[in-house]
Chains A and B, each alone.
Chain A
Amino acid sequence: MRWSDFVESLKDFWFEYKRQKIGMLGLAILLFFIGLAIVGPRFYPAEMSRKWRDVTYWQNYPRSARPSWINYFSSHKMPPHLIIAEYEVSERMIGANIREYVATFNYDHEYDEPPSDLILTFRRQVADPTKPPTMTFVLLRPDGREIELISKKLSEAGNQTRIVITSDRGALSTAYAFGREFETPENLEKVHFELTNPALPLFSKAQPGILLGNEAEPLKGTYTIRVTFYFQNPEDKIEDLTLIIGGRVYGLLGTDENRRDLFAGLIWGTRVSLLIGILTSVLSVFFGIFYGVMSAYLGGWKDEILQRIYEIMSSIPTLPILILLSAIYKPSIWWIIFFLVVFGWMGTSRMARSMAYQIKEMDYVEAARAVGASGFWIVRKHVMPQILPYAFASMALSVPSAILTEAGLSFLGLGDINRVTWGQILHDAQSTAATIKGMWWWVLPPGLAMALLGLSFAFIGAALNTILFPKLKTL
């Protein structure tokens, strides 16, 4: 085939493809995912994928936050996730060698739910560990009430400090005690100290119901958070002081229970799924064609042997074997692709073999052999040009199954542990019973993405089939 003929036939092909509505839809979906896989990582660093299982990496994200956009659809506004690193500082000396360092944060709370977390992180430099600094954390509410939640000596080793106020027992009892004052006795019957979310009384109006999640009224306005350090040594200091107001909504797709950004997971999962799907199908189709054409071309007992191997391979139940292999070897994504190819070439090889056999019997092949054409010549000039178009169709059609098989392995917890995949997201959702907890934003996106990507290839494959197969009849 000449280059100009090739270009010509590509043009013809595109002309026909354009008229396949379903194929165009499939292509559009596929392009969307490809776009996502290309553009996404610019905003979401690769670390996110590698450290998907590293809990500390995600600790400053909100836990179980919903997607931010739900605020547009509801009058019940949820607080977003805020990381505040701006604060006012005032310093003074108290007595001879105690220095007071006050950082004041402002937070406008205009939401119908309290934040999920209050987290303070900073780095301290302490010259003499035997004289640790002391710290207090005070919340000043818009109604003028002032609550000291934390007051402690910073005597732990290390200099990176992370204080989760909302999980601190002292803070909890303070907040509870604060709420109690305004609560009616009946209501007090209903609440349990242990189960109270400390953020609730802190961010609710001081009136009965303050301790009850469903009755508390949000206290909107500007809150001031005053963090005070008392240093005993002139060299002591605090750096990178940050206040995290844990949101109840986050990003495009929210977070899961381990605080991981689900959109980042989806994007990196898209890359993995596309990689697995396309690489697996391309490799298995090429190998299948090679095998099938060889089988047909060699013929005789060689064909016979190759066919027996083919039959053995096709009678192996792929999924159980894959599960077994994955459980034993904990394979990386490359090994998974390898396994999928090893168990995935048979369909194409069958098609290729029967087509090659058919073509081999054609008189034009006999005519070429009559002037002494080699087998290689016949395969290259007559067999391959006819099989390749079908190869593309079957590639498209075999992508979804590769994607689903990998997802299946990941879902069983057997995937590559160094990468996030859709299947793993679903696996985690499953193991923490996300569906029961109503965390749809955790389950639906990867599920839908998988279905859509699979569908897009199926659509493309179907369109290729309708274009290519009638051609066979007319030629």
Chain B
Amino acid sequence: MVEAKEAVLMDSKEAVMKVENLRKYFMIRRSFGEFITGKPPRYVKAVDGVSFAIKPKEVFALVGESGCGKTTTGKLIVKLLRPSGGRIYFNGTDVTELSTEEEIEYRKRVQIIFQDPYSSLDPRFRVYDILEEPLLITKVGETKAERRELIYKALEEVRLVPQEEFIGRFPHQLSGGQRQRVAIARALILNPEFLVADEPVSMLDLSIRAEILELMRELKERHGLTYLYITHDLSTARFFCDRIAVMYLGKIVELATSDRLIENPVHPYTKALLIAVPEPDPSQRHVMKEIPIIGEVPSAVNIPPGCRFHPRCPYRFEPCDKEEPELIEVEPDHYVACHLVSKK
């Protein structure tokens, strides 16, 4: 078991971001009655033992269905949430416990972009104020002129030029794509090394989506950024990412390079996901898609014992509902957590 974990983290020395057995349980609020009768609290196990390591300049995708814990993982990494267990290493140093100064430094170097371009910008702030906020908070840019220069530079990075035209606008005076670019500019303005992009394009129109993805790629090249790209969309993950980790109910079930994962999926869940992805090809319209799995994701409160996927798995067999499968390397750099590979 230890071996398997080591395997995933094999390249931990050169990793920019490494998480080890990361866990986040949210306590469900008990009603007063439950509290009085001493009912034990129940937990949403949003993230339940996740490990991975992201190499420098890599784009690492975390893919999975709604509620599997992707956003929670992202927020744990940028320290918007405090983990219930596990460790996070940034460039080799443990960042779960940091002094105040260290934390300020860490926050400058690790940034996040949110999914919804409508709620990620304060409607009462002008673009200029939105971009100035992180500078003021972290006290980067001592004079007004310095800050102004940084803001202009960030706007240029995301191609909102001429800057004069945009700095005075309120978010509602921007299109969805422009908003998302402002959000990216805000994440970039502190010159971070590592970006968590939480479904940055899923709320955008198709035509704009491509533009933002291209922009993010360009920024990566220019600044040597490393990304954790969170998405539920395997197609954009394939396009944008070097490696993909598939999450199910708070755990990674398969991890491989993008091409291998899509060409040679091993885990039954990954297979099902891949089959379900629609393609712009009308020739299949008269045939039903064979989706090998049934039902929907159960709630993260009642996680099934053994392999958490077993109630929906068409291949399940004897150990599946008892033992939890560990991540096993099935081919170089391709890890799968399934008894089909570990027990058969």
Contact = CB atoms under 8 A, between A and B. Distances in A.
B314 to A, nearest CB: 38
B137 A371 contact: yes
B111 interface: yes
B119 A370 contact: no
Contacts of B79: 370
A474 B172 contact: yes
Tell me which of B103, B115, B124, B172 has the highest count of chain A C-beta atoms within 10 A of its own C-beta: B124
B134 interface: yes
A63 to B, nearest CB: 61
A364 B126 CA distance: 13
A60 to B, nearest CB: 62
Nearest to A373: B137
A405 to B, nearest CB: 32
Nearest to A359: B122
Interface size class, chain B = 20 to 34
B122 A372 contact: no
Interface string A365-389: 0111111110001000110011000
A469 to B, nearest CB: 14
B273 interface: no
Interface in B2-39: none
Tell me which of A373, A377, A386 has the highest count of chain B C-beta atoms within 10 A of its own C-beta: A373
A88 interface: no
Given A363-B116, A377-B137, A371 B122 contact: no
Contact of B120 (A364, A369, A381, A386): A364
A475 interface: yes
Contact of B138 (A1, A372, A382): A372
B120 A363 contact: yes
Contacts of B126: 5
A364 B138 CA distance: 16
A370 B78 contact: yes
Given A367-B112, A367-B186, A373-B137, A362 B104 contact: no
A370 B112 contact: yes
A364 B107 contact: no
Interface string A90-130: 00000000000000000000000000000000000000000
B119 A362 contact: yes
A1 B130 CA distance: 11
A372 B192 CA distance: 14
Contacts of A373: 133, 137
Nearest to A382: B122
Contacts of A363: 114-116, 119-120
Nearest to A365: B122
Nearest to A371: B134
A474 B171 CA distance: 11
Interface string A281-304: 000000000000000000000000
B108 interface: yes
A475 B119 CA distance: 10
B46 interface: no
B111 A370 contact: yes
Nearest to B189: A371
B124 A367 contact: no
B80 A366 contact: yes
B120 A475 contact: no
Contacts of A366: 75, 80, 112, 114
Nearest to B75: A366
Contacts of B63: none
Given A363-B114, A366-B114, A381-B133, A371 B121 contact: no
A364 B112 contact: no
B237 interface: no
B119 A364 contact: yes
B217 to A, nearest CB: 22
A370 B172 contact: no
B120 A372 contact: no
A372 B103 contact: yes
Contacts of A367: 112, 114, 120, 183, 186-187
B190 interface: yes
Tell me which of A364, A371, A386 has the highest count of chain B C-beta atoms within 10 A of its own C-beta: A371
A368 B172 contact: no
Contacts of A371: 107-108, 111, 133-134, 137-138, 190
Nearest to B79: A370
A372 B172 contact: no
Given A362-B119, A363-B116, A364-B125, 11 more contacts: A367-B112, A367-B186, A367-B187, A368-B133, A371-B111, A371-B137, A371-B190, A372-B138, A373-B137, A381-B122, A385-B124
Interface of A: 1-2, 5, 362-364, 366-373, 377, 381-382, 385-386, 474-475
28 contacts: A362-B119, A362-B120, A362-B122, A363-B116, A363-B120, A364-B119, A366-B80, A366-B114, A367-B120, A367-B183, A367-B186, A368-B133, A368-B134, A368-B137, A370-B78, A370-B79, A371-B107, A371-B133, A371-B134, A372-B104, A372-B137, A372-B138, A373-B137, A377-B137, A385-B124, A386-B124, A474-B172, A475-B123
Q: List 8 tightest A-B contacts by C-beta distance, closest first.
A: A475-B123, A363-B120, A363-B114, A371-B134, A364-B122, A372-B107, A363-B119, A373-B137
